Chain A
Amino acid sequence: MKPITLALGAATGAVLVLSLAGCVATPPAATDAKPAAAPAATTVDAVMRESFKETGIAKLDRLNQSDLQRACSAASATGKTVDGKTAVALQNAARAAIKYPADGKYLGDWKRGEAIAQNGRGLQFTDTATTVNGGNCYACHQIDKAELAYGNIGPSLTAYGKKKGNSEAALKAAWGRIWNSHSVTACNAMPRFGDAGILTEAQIKDVMALLFDPASPVNK
């Protein structure tokens, strides 16, 4: 059975639903023993800070919001999309920081890419510094039609390469999207796989191959 995380990572069918017990978080270790009547913090920031503890690789600095996170949170709380001027500024900043592959090659191995797209592990407080992160693309996207357990937070990516072609421009556009999705649409839901260091350059090449390689089942 492959290692999966409770919801974001999973394999198909029965494995998804019936094998979750092995993936349950480890027990919370020592918890603070503050008396129930301690004076309560009142601001969101202060309350968040006292409500979490560092466990393993998940340090409290994860509560420090970047400008992007702060702007997107504020928009989300009002139920609206981020305003046009802010969106353009965020998109420009994201685009300027994209690192394209040093060797000019965009495509790796689609088979490895499929495994990365299936894998939802990584960066949880139950993971370690040596856990190989997945991309968990299937959590949000339909990709290979043979995989039925796909989510719908993002658009379907079936036949992606067939539709987009293999031009340098198409490859660069997809690379930028995966590196930092906010370079295209500020405040959308997709993680910044390159920018936030979730996937390595080599891993991004592999998922790119899953989308673009004519031999990939995505384009069959």
Chain B
Amino acid sequence: MKKCRVAAIAVIAAAVWLPAGPSLAQDTTKEIERYRQMLADGNPAELLEMRGEGLWKEKRGPKNVSLEACDLGLGAGKVQGVNAVLPRYFADVNRVMDLESRLVHCQVTLQGLNRADLVKRPYSLAAGERQTDHEALVAYLVGQSRGAKVNVPQAHPLEQAAFKRGEQMFHFRGGPYDFSCATCHGEEGQRIRLQDLPNFGTPADAQRAFTTWPAYRVSQGAMRTMQWRIFDCFRQQRMPELIFLSQASIDLITYMGVKAKDGTMDVPAIKR
């Protein structure tokens, strides 16, 4: 059953690549709507979630253990709802970590995998490339948070500091275009070309944005993680390249997560 549906999804996803000729914007919106409906009961990211679940439970690395003992913030082995309460402070490393940082941390500490190898190529960026193990693991983990209420903690001083820095960074204008995140995400009803831009100043927009990342991008035929989202927005901002799992990425995710309080997680989502 599941297999059939998954195969159908793959066909639909492939078809999306074909009609790339120029056409009117309204047609495009309609097309997207059509794919949305076709995909309504099956996001291609489900395939990836399944692969990720396999990786999570498989004995891997020099220590030949699974990741099932990983503490993502709600206790060892607990995966339900974790993405709704991350980033958060972890006493064992004395710092704030987001889901992707903590996942890499567990692969290093539990499985004995090499951090440099894990962070070298976290995203599958070539067209049609197989998604990375990192993306698969993230897909599985965030899928376990569907329906959970966003409640990114702000009790620990380091969590508060991450939020405060994230807020400053959100408004940091720099580079040859003078853009900040707020240039594109700081006003109501703003659009670049035809793309609606969430305004993190309003709870409803912040919730909608935060609770729908990671997302399967129909236009790219791949699921993208939250770290990728910020990496790519900084690229559009004409900034240098954001380092994967850097403190700035964690600070910004903390900021957005706190702004999205009480939203309901619906990830991996599906986007244009």
Residues of A at the B interface (CB closer than 8 Å) are 1, 5-8, 10-22, 24-28, 30-33, 35-37, 40-44, 47-48, 50-55, 58-60, 62-65, 68-69, 72-74, 76-77, 79, 123-126, 138-140, 148-153, 189, 191-192, 196-198
Contact = CB atoms under 8 A, between A and B. Distances in A.
Given A148-B194, A189-B179, 18 more contacts: A8-B192, A14-B28, A17-B28, A18-B17, A21-B128, A25-B231, A27-B121, A28-B121, A31-B243, A36-B95, A53-B243, A55-B240, A62-B174, A74-B171, A123-B175, A124-B236, A150-B193, A198-B176
Given A17-B32, A18-B16, A52-B240, A123 B177 contact: yes
Interface residues of B, number: 85
Interface of B: 16-17, 19-28, 31-32, 93-95, 97, 101, 104-105, 108, 115-116, 119-123, 125-128, 158, 161, 165, 167-180, 182-184, 186-187, 189-195, 201, 217, 219-221, 231-232, 234-236, 238-244, 246-249, 251, 272
A151 B20 contact: no
A7 B127 contact: no
Given A16-B193, A25-B232, A72-B173, A40 B180 contact: no
A197 B173 contact: no
A72 B180 CA distance: 10
Contacts of A53: 240-241, 243
18 contacts: A6-B236, A7-B192, A14-B22, A16-B25, A18-B20, A21-B219, A31-B120, A50-B247, A51-B243, A65-B173, A73-B168, A73-B180, A74-B171, A123-B176, A123-B177, A138-B193, A152-B189, A196-B176
A108 B125 CA distance: 39
A197 B176 CA distance: 8
A191 B177 contact: yes
Nearest to B104: A36
A12 B241 CA distance: 28
SS class, residues of chain A in contact with chain B: loop
Contact of A17 (B191, B219, B235, B238): B219
Contacts of A13: 22-28
A147 to B, nearest CB: 9
Contacts of A72: 173, 178
A197 to B, nearest CB: 7
Nearest to B167: A77
A58 B238 contact: yes
Contact of A76 (B182, B191, B221): B182
Given A14-B23, A18-B219, A59-B240, A151 B175 contact: no
